[in-house]
């Protein structure tokens, strides 16, 4: 299991928007910073806009934050760009019910994985975009 790079690309993108707030930010500019195709950036921008984190002006360009960085948690960003359908972990489709492991794997492992996911979500909710931005500024 691996979380896609959309999450870290979204954070990178939002940090650029914050750092270069006085400039006209475009998907091409962001793509240059992230070093990915601008289409990837545009898709992430659409997801962030759908989550009401940013507003994107079409045509003339420009991206604005809808909230202060201190009010945006990493969990909110994660939810905006990752499509996990509520579950971080998934199970193989049809384990062999005639096998003692296959017959029991989901019911014994699922509660533990749910707790792990809750812990991860709790940690993501503790950290804001402002926290990450402060770390960035300390490293400039």
Question: Could you tell me the pLDDT band of residue 84, with boundaries at 50, 70 and 90?
Answer: low
Question: Could you give the number of structural domains in the chain?
Answer: 1
The boundaries of the domain holding residue 114 are 6-138
Structure token pair of residue 60: 């003339």
Residue 17 is assigned to a structural domain of this protein: yes
Residue 68 is assigned to a structural domain of this protein: yes
pLDDT digit string (tens) for 20-63? 988 888 899 999 999 999 999 999 999 999 999 999 987 766 89
Residue 122 is assigned to a structural domain of this protein: yes
- Enumerate residues 6+ apart whose C-beta is below 8 A from 64: 17, 54, 55, 57
Residue 1 is assigned to a structural domain of this protein: no
Residue 52 is assigned to a structural domain of this protein: yes
How far, in Å, CA of 74 to CA of 71, rounded?
10
Residue 129 is assigned to a structural domain of this protein: yes
CATH number of the structural domain spanning residue 41: 1.10.10.10
118 has a pLDDT exceeding 80: yes
Residue 29 is assigned to a structural domain of this protein: yes
CB neighbourhood size of 8 (10 A): 13
Residue 108 is assigned to a structural domain of this protein: yes
What average pLDDT is seen over the chain?
Answer: 91
Q: What global pTM score does this model have?
A: 0.86
Burial 100-124 (b: 16+ CB within 10 A, else e): eeeeeeeeeeeeebeeeeeeebeeb
């Amino acid at each position: 299991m691996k979380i896609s790079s959309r999450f870290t690309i979204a954070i990178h993108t939002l940090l650029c928007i914050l750092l270069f707030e006085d400039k006209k930010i475009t998907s091409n500019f962001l793509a240059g910073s992230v070093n990915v195709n601008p289409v990837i950036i545009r898709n992430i921008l659409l997801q962030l806009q759908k989550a009401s984190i940013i507003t994107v002006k079409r045509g003339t360009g420009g991206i604005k934050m809808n909230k202060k960085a201190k009010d945006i948690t990493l969990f909110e960003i994660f939810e905006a760009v990752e499509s996990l359908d509520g579950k971080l972990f998934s199970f193989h489709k049809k384990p062999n019910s005639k096998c003692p492991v296959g017959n029991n794997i989901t019911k014994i492992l699922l509660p533990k994985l749910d707790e792990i996911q809750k812990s991860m979500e709790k940690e993501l909710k503790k950290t804001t975009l402002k926290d990450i931005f402060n770390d960035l500024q300390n490293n400039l």
